[in-house]
Chains A and B, each alone.
Chain A
Amino acid sequence: MNSLCEMGRKFLRGRRARRVYTLVFCVVCGTSCGYDRFDGPTRPAGDSTRPNLLISELSEFYRETPVTLTEEIVLAGYVTTTDRAGNFFRTLLIDDGSGALELKLGLYDLSATYPLGQRLVVHARGLTLGSDHGILQLGLEALPSSGYETDYLGHRVLVDRHVSRDTVIREVTPLRATLAELVSVTPGRLVRVEGLRYDADTTICWAGERSPVTGNPLTVYRQFRDDEGDTVLVVTSGYATFASDTIPAGRISVTGILMRGHIGSRDRMMIKPRDLYDVEDN
């Protein structure tokens, strides 16, 4: 112990040793650790998996009642909707050219994560196939109290298990058709109809009505008519950012997702635009 102390004294008190300490200290103090220094991001490769089924073929699994898919079904399609304007909410549609499919993802701000035109690959095994307004949809098995055929996935934990993104982004061109031709178009497809007029002489907003019970904004169906006298309902959510915008007078064209529903006592065709850019003056 004494010899250790003696060694310590000589070592620590040496002049040369002090120069070394100074050098070491300067080196230590002069370097930065770089704990917050990062290179550019590395992007993961997209999922370019080829589908083993077309969306139009998926409809054969649906028999007017929801069914949970047990087969290893892989679908793919391009996103045709955006929730940026709020007319689509927590859900999106994809189109593979043969048909369209609604994915009830149950997430917010989907347009950022799955932008328009993004190619998505869907692993459908374990999901429930249902229909709403004539549109095929995939989601979870609905709760008994739901009133819908499928429920939202609701969290990225589940969404990422079934839906993956490719790096390909290609906007889908809407199908141009007259109202008469829309009868033969599969619901869920992106369509564009020209020459429509609002079917009333009043000036009115796209939506704006509220429930007399809850006070919540209501989804509103406005009827439009073409020159041939055919009619279509344009669907606007009361939460859409353009809900309080005035419907243009005169002829317009409307782009949106084709839907079919039962209003009153009859089946009606409907178009649900994504935002106000889908409405153009003719």
Chain B
Amino acid sequence: MYPDLAIGVVRTVRRGVSLNDVNMNRRLPIICVLLFSLVYCRSVYGQTDDVPVVQSELHSETVEIEDDPTLFYLPLEGYTDLYTQLSLYDFSSVRYNRRGYEPRFGRIRMGSLELNDPFGGGVYWPLVNSVRSSWAEVHYDAGLRAGSSGVGMPGQTMDFTVRPADLSRGGLVSVATTDRRYRYSMRAGYASGAMRHGWSYALMVARRWGRDRSIPGVFTDETGGSLLVSKDFGTDHTVTLALTAQPTQTGQRLAATREAFELTGDRLYNPSWGYYSGKVRNSRVRTSLLPMAALAYEGRLSSRTSFLISLGGWTGRTGYTLPGWYDAPTPYPDYYRTMPSYIANPAVREEVAAAWRANDPAVTQVRWDELSLVNGQSDGPASYVLENRITASRSFQGAATVRVQFSERLSFDAGLRMRTDRMEAYKEAKDLLGAAYLRDIDPYLVDDPLYGDLLLNDASAPDRQVREGERYGYHYRIGYREAVGLAKAEYARNRVRAVVELNYGAVSFCREGMYEKQLYPGSLSLGRSTRCTFPIGQAAIAVHYSFTGRHSLGLGLLTGRLAPTAEEVFVSPEYRNETVSGVRAIGLSAAELTYDLTAGIVHVRVSGYMSRTRDETRVYRYYDDLSGVYSDLVLTGLGRRNYGFELAAGLTFSPRWTLNLGASMGRYVYCTDPAAVIRDDASGAVIAQGTRSYLTGYYVGSTPQCLGVAELRYSGTRMWLASVTFAYMGDNYVDLNPVRRMPRVTDRAGSPERFSALIAQERLPSAMTVDLFVSKTFRLGGTHRLTVNASIRNLLNRRDIVYSGYEPMRVRRVGSGLGSSIAPFDTKYYYSYGRGYYAGLSYRF
């Protein structure tokens, strides 16, 4: 409403002010500032906490991957191939990993700075997003090819390049509005281009804020800034500095069961929020601040020899909140025991179901006021707390490479890369919800018959009363070191280009406990663990042969070992130093064949790929229903096989009309039955060993294995651009619970039907979306341009698209006596958004 008002006022002012009015330039900006302030204040402080009355389903979860459409419109993106360009954003209605590979099988780098997370195996997305929001150029790719930056990796790669001197001089100001995860964004930046004395810089500031229009509790409050500076020393030496920081706070969404979605009639139902003194409060809020700095020095020692030295790193913290409870009912509204399906009494079941159908927030959401009331009933320790799980990360990396150009055809690179990271994890009592203090004890041992008197999390402070903002629970550090030697040879002659790449090194992990847990006295939890070292390395070769300038074939091969993560090395890193027995570096072998053809108006690329992993390790920390204790499940010897093909074709019918097509069909499956050991988390006693989880043939979940996209694009005169995109996502499966595929569980299935229910892997429904995009650019003279763009996602308003799903780690007993059996817990899902929009205005000068 308010943006419309602003435009209306401008028009009114326009009519009332002559173009020749000399004061127009003074008055109009002031008026716009006033109007903008009104809009901004309304958007920041006036956003209603009223929950929209949701009559039917709506959208999807906020996970680490950023599919921010504003980033799509940055002009500094490059793609090796058409399929990469199409697949980056058009499959955002589902959780998607290119070719079924997790981020650890890809690569995300800024120069030589690796942006992966060695502790959890993922990516530091707040870091990546801050770099993406800057002036850095980003190049996306996937697969093994004879590329300029090496052979590549089987999975998605993202390479950021910082070269402010290569940027055109000018600036950018943009504003936008959307309805997913936030409402408004602003961005402003300026690049100096190459200036006198070899200096250049580029500055960008960005802001996103607002509540999700469809999902209560979901919001974004993010501010980012980046500064890139470079100095050329003559023509042969350049020093570049990049600084980024992006403090972010986001409200998250949690998955829910089909029962919850059906009862509420809302496929965007979010159980993580509730009313707190009449306002919407989310129990799952993520925060992050990871300022990063990177320094690179490129130079030439001679006409044939060049070098690159990079230093960089980051320090900061990320965290997320969630409720904790001690000897009290769970605060989660969709706990399985409180759902109608669990209630045996039909009259009670119907009463509860009616309350869910009426979307009574006392039933469907977190009861913050109740939690505060319980805490305030006594002067004793809190029964409920809002804890903040903090990870303070610090990384320092350095790399040095030397390139020797022996001839026009042959070059050789050699280098060394080193990295040291430290992760410090702890939790804080963010909000005691009206209680005065909290006892720092392990809530899972309170009723334990054997260990109920070993409750202290920190034996050095037995009677400590934890106040708001103080640490408790666990406190540990994990150190990571990596040193890798690199060598690469490139050969190019006439039709042939070949790249051979070798790297070899080692990584090591060491845990340092800061708390002595009473259950694990002495060095079992306190102090340093043994240092675990893993040799890693890869050998890769890629050859590209051009039959003609329009017709070529490429082959890539890779084999090697990748490092495990800290989560896979330590059994319970939160509170003990024990390492997983038998953990190894992950074996990886991959091959890829690519064919390119350009004929007339058609450009086609087909890639066939396959890969095999070995010796993967997984550690699951969960409540084991069969033994009735919290347990650690270690799977070793896990292996996967990914294979398939990708096809991309671009047809340029005319200078105006282009049709881009993409298709991918793959199979990403587990190909081994990993050895399984289950141990009591409290005592370490073995619950099950010498057994396996039978996973062979199951699909890797949370990524569709069959994809298709068609984009029809029109580039009109006067700088119009429009496109319509059809996307199909199929063969998607839920993430598995390995416990359900173990004999100790399946042997207790009371009937063939129960057995099938335990071992079946749900296939998620296929999804199809239609997206529209339109853009118009106005030339304002010189380099000044004003661009208006808008997009509608999921034009058909498909609200039955499952973003992802997973099987909970628990099973439940059903029946009694001879009729007793084991049944799986209900699968949890995230649904995707319905129809959504994005509209933006950007001004470049």
Contacts and interface: CB of A to CB of B under 8 A. Distances in A.
Interface of A: 3-14, 16-17, 20-25, 27-29, 31-36, 38-44, 84, 86, 107-109, 111-113, 115, 118, 140-141, 143, 151-158, 160, 165, 169, 213-214, 241, 244
B796 interface: no
A42 B377 contact: no
The 7 closest A-B pairs by CB, nearest first: A41-B372, A112-B328, A20-B29, A17-B29, A9-B780, A33-B221, A35-B219
Interface of B: 14, 19, 24-26, 28-30, 32-33, 36-37, 40, 44-45, 173, 186, 188, 205, 207, 209-211, 219, 221, 223, 225, 249, 251, 276-277, 279, 281-282, 285, 327-329, 337-338, 343, 345, 347-348, 351-352, 355, 360, 362-363, 368-369, 372-374, 376-378, 383, 431, 433-434, 447, 449, 452, 778, 780-781, 784, 786, 816-817, 843, 845
Contacts of B362: 156-157, 160
Given A29-B207, A41-B434, A155-B352, A12 B369 contact: no
Contacts of A20: 29-30, 32-33
A24 B205 CA distance: 12
Nearest to B281: A38
Nearest to A243: B449
A157 B360 CA distance: 10
Contacts of B279: 38
Given A39-B277, A115-B377, A8 B207 contact: no
A272 B328 CA distance: 23
A84 B780 CA distance: 74
Given A8-B778, A42-B277, A112-B374, A25 B205 contact: yes
A244 B377 CA distance: 32
Given A155-B352, A158-B348, A3 B19 contact: yes
Contacts of B786: 8, 12
24 contacts: A3-B19, A5-B778, A13-B781, A16-B25, A16-B26, A17-B25, A22-B188, A27-B40, A28-B186, A29-B223, A32-B249, A33-B44, A33-B210, A35-B211, A35-B251, A36-B251, A40-B434, A41-B368, A42-B277, A42-B369, A43-B434, A107-B329, A109-B329, A113-B374
Contact of A113 (B281, B329, B347, B816): B329
Contacts of A241: 447, 449, 452
B318 to A, nearest CB: 15
Which among A11, A86, A151, A244 has the highest number of chain B CB atoms within 10 Å? A11
A23 B368 CA distance: 39
Contact of B209 (A33, A36, A111): A33
Contacts of B843: 12
B25 A12 contact: no
B376 A41 contact: yes
B345 A143 contact: yes
Contacts of B352: 155, 157
Given A5-B780, A44-B369, A35 B249 contact: yes
Contacts of A109: 327-329
B473 to A, nearest CB: 19
Contact of B784 (A12, A36, A160, A165): A12
Contact of B221 (A32, A111, A141): A32
A155 B277 contact: no
Nearest to B206: A29
Contacts of A28: 40, 186, 207
A169 B29 contact: no
A8 B173 CA distance: 14
Contacts of A151: 345
A178 B343 CA distance: 43
B276 A84 contact: no
A25 B327 contact: no
Given A31-B44, A32-B221, A112-B327, 7 more contacts: A7-B19, A10-B25, A13-B784, A38-B279, A40-B434, A157-B360, A213-B817
A161 to B, nearest CB: 9
A115 B19 CA distance: 75
A186 B348 CA distance: 31
Contacts of A157: 351-352, 355, 360, 362-363
A86 B448 CA distance: 12
Contacts of A153: 348
B14 A7 contact: yes
Contacts of A111: 327
A3 to B, nearest CB: 7
A35 B329 contact: no
Contacts of B40: 27-28
A7 B21 CA distance: 11
A38 B276 contact: yes
Which among B372, B434, B780, B817 has the highest number of chain A CB atoms within 10 Å? B780
A160 B221 CA distance: 37
Nearest to B843: A12
